[in-house]
Amino acid sequence: MTSAGCTGEVRGGILYLTLDTRGSSINVLTPAVALELEQELERGLAAGARAAVLLSAKPGSFVNGVGLLLAASSHAESAAMERARTLQRCYERLAAAPVPTIAAIEGNCYGCGLELALTCDYRLAADTSDTHFYMSEIRDYAFIPLFGGTQRLPPLLGLGAGMRMLLGERATAKAALRMGLVDRLAPQGVRRALPSLLRELRARGWPKREAAVGVQAGSKRGASLVGSTRGASLAGSRRGAREALPRIAALPGPERELARDCLRLARLPGRRGYRLEDGLREELASFWRTVGKPESGRAMSFFFTRQSAKVHGIGSASYERPARLAVELDGGTPALRGLGRLLRVRKLAGVTLRAAGGAARNGRATIGAADRGRAPARIGRAGRAAAKNGAAGSAPFAIAFAQEKVAGLLTCALGALGTSADCAALLPFPGEPVPAIELVPASAERPWRGGTILFQLLEQAGFAPVVTRARGRFVSERLLDAFHGALAGSTAAQARRALLDFGFRLPAALALGLGKRTPRGLVERREPATAWPSRAAARAARDPAGSADLAARAAEAVAAEAIRALDDGALGHASQADLLAHVLFGFPVVHGGLLRFVAAGSGETARAAARVLGRRAS
């Protein structure tokens, strides 16, 4: 019988548990997979394994989450509870394993996946950009984590750093090492680093890591494996204790209550007489309380919107990319140099970056000399075929970021529309942790399958790509203009406060630029800004309303412009409008999608929003 997603093998006295969720491009710890993990762990222990290693067979994904989204979305407590229990048992068994456990992390380690890694004694991480750590529960889904994150992160990292991770800060592998989330980096991949780590464990008699929960000195045996610059696991707590707690008042409005609940839970391990099982029970109670709220339901539904926008953009929600990818960068403009810097920093396994130039071109493997000079769409299709072979060691797929079309390469030009490249792109806020990037293909292919590899490269490098069919102006620019227009008549401070209280997570450059006509960070426009007839702006000028209104007006203005873009074909689907609202302005997920939120109101824009969402006219 084929495995659902976890196989076990004992080699040289070590149990290797390999995660590979069947039928999915990312690893999801479904109840079936969790059951297998539990069984393989028991089998391995019974066979006398001295240590257990958790690995993933998917290079881009360690564990991206658990299969709870559907169950949790249905508000059926008993059914979701049953699934959660099966998963919980797996976490408990791993945490209670009598032998040292190692999470060998390569690829995304998100949410429950990070919590799974936390139940292990030691964490080893590859130093690639897709190996990063992120707690999605509170930030993306508005519920408290349920597999021990609130009880294990604070003692490990310190309360300040622990809270920051819990509230949704992303950590690269290097940052994870610095903060103590990970014990060791594996520069040449986790499989190469395992043997030496295992040798050390063997030399020390296979020690478990001393519990970092509560107060104790602990033996030095396990501790010395925990990085050379850090002593016992308690050192992390001491350092972290000096780190400031995130200011709850500085968080977007809808996140504050959750953050308070999270802080309460995070403080429990520091209390006298604390027991982990009590803390976990409290955490679980908070999970059920928060997952049942409408905010969480709406936030979870946004997951579907996000994926839907992707499918409408490139035809698939899959997370794969070819094993080898060559990226050529023309540093011709500051914007391109900036993008090159970002891609270099966020280095992905299997991706080689090189500067554009004659020598590089001759050296590079193309998808086939015969494809040079052909129409972009064909390059895309041929590229996909080549991509499939990429893993087999044939020519890597090649992409170029340049101002003009590079023959033979899928070329993306940062800047103005109307380029000779295969697609134009706009990167309005490059300084953000997950910068939005609007892609406008030249090809008429819908969805733009030819852009799949470019899209996935950007997504996995930590950008938020959105595909549009903008003509004349980028849709992002239109939306940003509408946003600014709606805020005319209020001060920057008023606007910032109003938007924050409502729940907007504005990009820093946008927040700073409020009140100025051209926000910092936007690529310089070639044509003069047109004065969009904005009802919202006119109303604002006439009536300096309260701050609660301000945020709603801004939302309405952006929605109105997005609807215009849907009607004129610049946007292909409502989900793309919602995604842009989220990645450009940080429109809060607890309100679901922007259009759905606006449609629930009254007035002309509300009716138009309902129309594009396919609702019956009210």
Binding residues vs another protein (CB under 8 A): 23-24, 28, 30, 67, 69-71, 73-76, 78-80, 297, 300-301, 303-304, 307-308, 311-312, 316-318, 573-574, 596, 612-614
Whose Cβ is closer to another protein: residue 162's or residue 593's? 593
Cis before 447 (ω within 30): yes
- The label of the residue with tokens 């504005």 reads 506
The b/e string for 69-99 (b: 16+ C-beta within 10 A; e otherwise) is eebbbeeeeeebeebbebbbebbbbbbebeb
- The distance of Cα 336 from the centroid of its chain, to the nearest Å, equals 23
Least distance CB 311 / another protein (angstroms): 5
Least distance CB 409 / another protein (angstroms): 29
Locate 250 and state its tokens.
């500085």
Three-state DSSP at 325 gives: strand
Q: At what angle do helices 294-314 and 574-585 cross, to 10 degrees?
A: 110
Three-state DSSP at 419 gives: coil
Contact (Cβ atoms closer than 8 angstroms) between residue 173 and residue 183 = no
Q: 549: which residues sit within 8 A by CB, 6+ positions away? A: none
Least distance CB 55 / another protein (angstroms): 22
Q: Which of 5, 142, 104 is nearest to 590 (CA)?
A: 142
Contact (Cβ atoms closer than 8 angstroms) between residue 9 and residue 47 = no
Locate 126 and state its tokens.
């590859």
Least distance CB 301 / another protein (angstroms): 3
Q: 375: which residues sit within 8 A by CB, 6+ positions away? A: 443
Least distance CB 78 / another protein (angstroms): 7
Locate 504 and state its tokens.
């907007």
Contact (Cβ atoms closer than 8 angstroms) between residue 310 and residue 320 = no
Least distance CB 253 / another protein (angstroms): 23
Three-state DSSP at 251 gives: coil
Least distance CB 589 / another protein (angstroms): 12
- The H or E element containing residue 105 is strand 101-105
DSSP category for residue 208: P
Q: Which amino acid is at 15?
A: L
Q: 217: which residues sit within 8 A by CB, 6+ positions away? A: 232, 234
Three-state DSSP at 65 gives: strand
Locate 528 and state its tokens.
């003069």
The values of phi and psi at residue 319, to 5°, are -110, 15
Whose Cβ is closer to another protein: residue 80's or residue 280's? 80
Contact (Cβ atoms closer than 8 angstroms) between residue 587 and residue 504 = yes
DSSP category for residue 371: G
Whose Cβ is closer to another protein: residue 30's or residue 419's? 30
Whose Cβ is closer to another protein: residue 274's or residue 303's? 303
Reduced DSSP (H G I as helix, E B as strand, rest coil) percent helix, strand, coil of the chain, to 5: 50, 15, 40
What is the Cα Rg of the chain in Å? 25
Contact (Cβ atoms closer than 8 angstroms) between residue 339 and residue 331 = no
Q: Which of 348, 435, 396 is nearest to 131 (CA)?
A: 348
Whose Cβ is closer to another protein: residue 301's or residue 389's? 301
Contact (Cβ atoms closer than 8 angstroms) between residue 233 and residue 210 = yes
Residue 433's alpha-carbon distances to 245, 397, 504, in angstroms, are 20, 27, 16
